[in-house]
Amino acid sequence: MLPDTTITAVEPFILHVPVTGNMIQDSTHTLTHWGVVGTRVRTAGGITGYGFSGTHAHLASDRLITSCISDSYAPLLIGQDACDVQRLWSALYNCAPIQWVGRSGITHLAIAAVDTALWDIKAKASEQPLWKLLGGATCSRLEAYNTDGGWLSLDSQTVADNCRRLVESEGYRGVKIKIGTDDPRADLKRIEAVRTAIGEHATLAVDCNGRWNLTTVLSVAPRLPDFDVLWVEEPLFYDDLPGHVRLAQAMLTPIALGEQLYTLDSFRDFIAAGAVHWVQPDMTRLAGITEWLRVADLALAYHLPVVPHVGDMGQVHVHLCYAHPAATRLEYIPWIKDCFEEPIVVESGYYVLPQLPGAGTTFRPDAVERYGMEL
């Protein structure tokens, strides 16, 4: 007999977890902690689902997300069957008074947390890991690429040494480094140092975090093939669709983006315009797993590879990538993995397939004690 998955309680939480080395920078952000902002959803039969979004651990904005969950979404969820995920997603997404104040941003991060908790319940109720519930694994192994050695707060030599270690000693077949400073020539030297350090076989991606303008990117673009750059990530401001179209037509190196696109409609516009080559949906920025799957299907229809941004630090995306045929590799950043009952594991450069029932989001009992913040 199936367990009773009627929702009885929705309990938001905020965790602030320290990043590697206690501080990292890219061209637009400085972080000391990663915010894990989400909710427990309890059900009558005893199954508890967990879902969360990822933030820059700014308590005031994190509280906007948790209040959206508790004040606006919880009343729509209590008494409903958690396994009716698509119907509940539509009820939250189309809730008119809330949609009026935000069709993206805070409301989306809040829906992402709830939606993930519902998928977690559905997978637990069927006693399967999420990837299996979604249809099973589409690949025998999922490559991980490592971003955690290439922060802009580190000097070029340290970044090159980190990347060499990741490739030579830890088995990664790819790394990503941050660029996008006010001195593009220094950025090119950084790219060159890393390419020299990792050799010709490992892949190297670079990430501007939306900092440069079209003129700057065009000035460095002719040099990028010298270093066999796999992609340039967020070369321009996130919403600059015409700029990305012009860049895609002028630059040989492929463009990756998506971590700042909040909706299926935004992805449709960028993909249909030919403004993106590597599609980077993030289920913590989109409205959860439900909308992520729609974006991945869209990318598949255009035969574009999906390489998610990991606002969840890979906990859920590892399930989605194993299950979806458009996903080709997955970013690895280890900051929050010790919070979970089944943390992500990379062995010899590949993600280990999760085995526990659920979406990979169940917290260890001590995670809230160690990292919990007041709501």
In angstroms, the Cα distances linking 54 to 88, 152, 364 are: 22, 20, 18
Cα 7 to Cα 187: distance, rounded to the nearest angstrom: 51
> Is 207 an interacting residue with respect to Mg ion (CB under 5 A)?
yes
| Closest to 246 measured CA to CA, from 273, 277, 265, 208 | 273
Q: Which of residues 127 and 239 has its CB atom nearest to Mg ion in the complex?
A: 239
Question: How is residue 307 written in tokens?
Answer: 């390489």
CB of 88 to Mg ion, least distance (A): 30
Packing angle, helices 156-168 and 184-198, rounded to 10: 30
How remote is the C-alpha of 168 from its chain's centroid?
26
Phi, psi (5° rounding) for residue 70? Answer: -75, -40
* Distance in Å, CB of 327 to Mg ion, minimum: 17
Nearer to Mg ion, 143 or 233 (CB): 233
Q: How far is the CB of 268 from Mg ion (least distance, A)?
A: 21
Tokens of 367: 């995670």
Least separation in angstroms between CB 143 and Mg ion: 18
> Binding mask 215-244 vs Mg ion (x if CB under 5 A, - otherwise)?
------------------x-----------
Q: Of the two residues 43 and 209, which places its CB atom closer to Mg ion in the complex?
A: 209
Q: Which residue is nearest to Mg ion (CB)?
A: 207
| Cβ 285 to Mg ion shortest distance, Å | 11
Is residue 25 classed as helix, strand or coil in its secondary structure? strand
For 182, residues 6+ apart whose C-beta sits below 8 A from its C-beta are none
Is 115 a binder of Mg ion (CB under 5 A)? no
DSSP 8-state secondary structure symbol assigned to residue 352: P
CB of 28 to Mg ion, least distance (A): 10
User: Which residue in 77, 15, 86, 91 sits closest to 43, CA to CA?
Assistant: 77
Nearest approach, Cβ of residue 101 and Mg ion (Å): 27
Q: Measured from the CB of residue 248, what is the shortest distance to Mg ion in angstroms?
A: 17
Contact window for Mg ion (CB under 5 A) among 29-37, 50-58, 204-212, 267-275 = 204-212
Check if the beta carbon of residue 176 is closer than 8 Å to that of residue 207.
yes
- Closer residue to Mg ion, CB minimum distance, 51 or 235: 235
Nearest CB to Mg ion, comparing residues 187 and 233: 233
User: Rounded distance, CA 374 to CA 16, Å?
Assistant: 11
Q: Select 29 or 87, whichever has its Cβ closest to Mg ion.
A: 29
Q: How far is Cα 368 from Cα 83, in angstroms, rounded to an integer?
A: 26
Nearer to Mg ion, 115 or 233 (CB): 233
Number of residues counted as binding Mg ion (CB under 5 A) = 2
Pair 351, 318: CB distance under 8 Å: yes
Q: Could you tell me the smallest distance in angstroms from the CB atom of residue 93 to Mg ion?
A: 25
120 or 187: CB nearest Mg ion? 187
What is the rounded CA–CA span in Å between residue 297 and residue 291? Answer: 10
| Cα atoms in the Cβ-side hemisphere of radius 13 Å centred on 278 | 24
Nearer to Mg ion, 148 or 342 (CB): 148
Q: Between β-strands 203-207 and 174-178, what pairing exists: parallel, antiparallel or unpaired?
A: parallel
Residue 187 as a binder of Mg ion (CB under 5 A): the answer is no
Name the site residues for Mg ion (rule: CB under 5 A).
207, 233
